[in-house]
Amino acid sequence: MRDELLRRFAGFGNRTALFDQGTGFTYEDLLNRIHHTRDRLAAHGVAPHDVVIVHGDYSVDSIATLLALFLNRNVVVPVVTLNALALDTLVEHCRPGYLVRTGTGLDIQDLQPSGDPLARRDGQQRAGTASMIGRLSTEDAAGLILLSSGSTGAPKVILHNLDALVSEKLTKRPRRSSNALNILMVLMFDHIGGINSLLSALLVGGTAILPRQRVPDEICGLIEEHRILVLPTSPTFLNLIMVGGYHRKYDLSSLRLITYGTEPMSEELLRRVNQNFPGVRLLQTFGTSETGIATTTSESSSSTYFKISDDSVEYRIVDGELQLRSRTQFLGYLNSSDDALTEDRWFRTGDLVEETPDGYIKIKGRAKEVINVGGEKLIPLELESVLLTSPLVEDCVVYGRPNAITGQSVCVDIKPKGALTRMAVRKHVLEFLSGRVEPFKIPSKVTVVDSIEMSARLKKIRSRRGNSEA
């Protein structure tokens, strides 16, 4: 497998592999950078199967380091934002030996004494963790550790077999040089979707375009500059592009395909995307940090129904929840129990779905986000989709709050179109929803905001916030 990766990169030669801040790097350049990085790591004492944190976003150095560590059979931990909580979690649960900071060259820092990282646990590491990392060593495989978003506390530490992820991509045939593919790295370097996009581009001879910032102005400018054909993104980010008018400010006519995932798409938002991007095919993607990204087929560009059309992924629906099992499935959590896995090793995604008789699936929302109002249940996306049909609502996010009488109450943050008073927005929302939804779904609190907060992973943050309250 490693020989095949090196053979492909050598064969791609002078094709552009990366475009990083105005500079193009060929596959030959990238290959030389990878070899140089391997030498630097070896000189610093990094040995095969050591756990190594790579701190930085996409850059030629971070990508070369990731691939050098893969070739060296290390366990690599890409982290874009290395805050104290993330570092403490990693040090406690996987005992990284080294920290490599990228972006302005390589800065390699020792985190543990030299030697086998599994041996220097001070007796504090659980046997299960040692066993999982040790399994990679036994198989002479590289590892990948991803952190969950950690929105409700310490992030989960997710261990993958990196060889398995790379192997799946190497089954794809290389593209001919006259049919090169430019892919924007919109999804993050430490996100399963970002790793998937990067491997999908490089292992077939495409070009990965690296943005400096993940903001609509930057992304749309790069689409125009590089005549991007495929844009992988999220519903929230697509809405930001349209709300800000960036699809009119820049020439986006090169786009042929927009893939969207990371969160459910509402019917109304999908209608807006189709209206503003005529002639562009829309494809809903699906995957999890634990099982990888599955190949999907949308029912149509105007439908939120899709099929999982991937020989490496199985799915089933149990009590309305989607469960997956895949060849690229994670080995386990290093700091959490495997409660998300069934006894027969199916992964409980936490996504509530419905399925048509012909096998198309629709994501309705997350089980943990369901709002229970006195026994009546509401999935936030359902109400958001209704609100987005209002001519006065530019964007919104629905969430639940504790309520002493009903258990929970329905709340919504509204970003209105135009300059409206708080009272006018509240009055409009209540009147607009009356008769359109059941009474228990009408929000008890309406908050007017200047913008809908988005996480670094391009998803709406469903928590109480706002600049002013109605």
Number of structural domains in the chain: 2
CATH number of the structural domain spanning residue 459? 3.30.300.30
Domain boundary among 141, 167, 193: 167
Q: Residue 470's pLDDT is what?
A: 41
Tokens 């001519």 belong to 391
**Per-residue pLDDT tens digits for 269-278:** 999 999 999 9
The enclosing domain of 117 has a CATH number of 3.40.50.12780
pLDDT at 94: 87
Letter for the amino acid at 433?
L
Quote the CA–CA distance of 405 and 85 in Å, as a whole number.
36
> Which of residues 113, 133, 167 is at a domain's end?
167
- Listed range (125-139, 200-214, 239-253, 312-326) with the worst mean pLDDT: 125-139
Q: Which residues face 413 on adjacent strands?
A: 397, 447
Return the pLDDT at 25.
Answer: 96
Mean pLDDT of the chain: 89
Residue position matching structure tokens 């290959």: 31
Assess if residue 224 is contained within a domain. Answer: no
Mean pLDDT of 37-43: 96
Confidence of residue 153 (pLDDT cuts 50, 70, 90): low
Residue corresponding to tokens 């070899």:
35
Domain that residue 404 falls in: 370-469
Q: Between the CA atoms of 338, 195, 168 and 311, what dihedral angle is there, to the nearest 10 degrees? A: 60
**Residue 419: per-residue pLDDT:** 83
Residue 175: pLDDT above 80? no
**CB-based contacts of 288, cutoff 8 Å, min separation 6:** 192, 324, 347, 349
**What one-letter code names the amino acid at 223?**
I
Of the listed ranges 178-192, 333-347, 412-426, the one predicted with least confidence: 178-192
Residue 114 pLDDT greater than 50, yes or no: no
Pairing of strands 361-366, 347-355: antiparallel
- 300 and 362 Cβ atoms separated by less than 8 Å: no
- 118, 142, 167: which is the final residue of a domain? 167
| Cβ atoms of 385 and 267 closer than 8 Å | yes
Between 105 and 342, name the one with better pLDDT.
342
281 domain residue, yes or no: no
Q: Convert the pLDDT of each residue in 355-398 to its tens digit.
A: 999 999 999 999 999 999 999 999 999 999 999 999 999 999 99
* 46, two tokens: 């990094």
Sign of the dihedral through C-alpha 425, 273, 190, 32: negative
Q: How far is CA 96 from CA 48, 49, 121, 190, in A?
A: 13, 10, 10, 16
In a domain, 245, yes or no: no
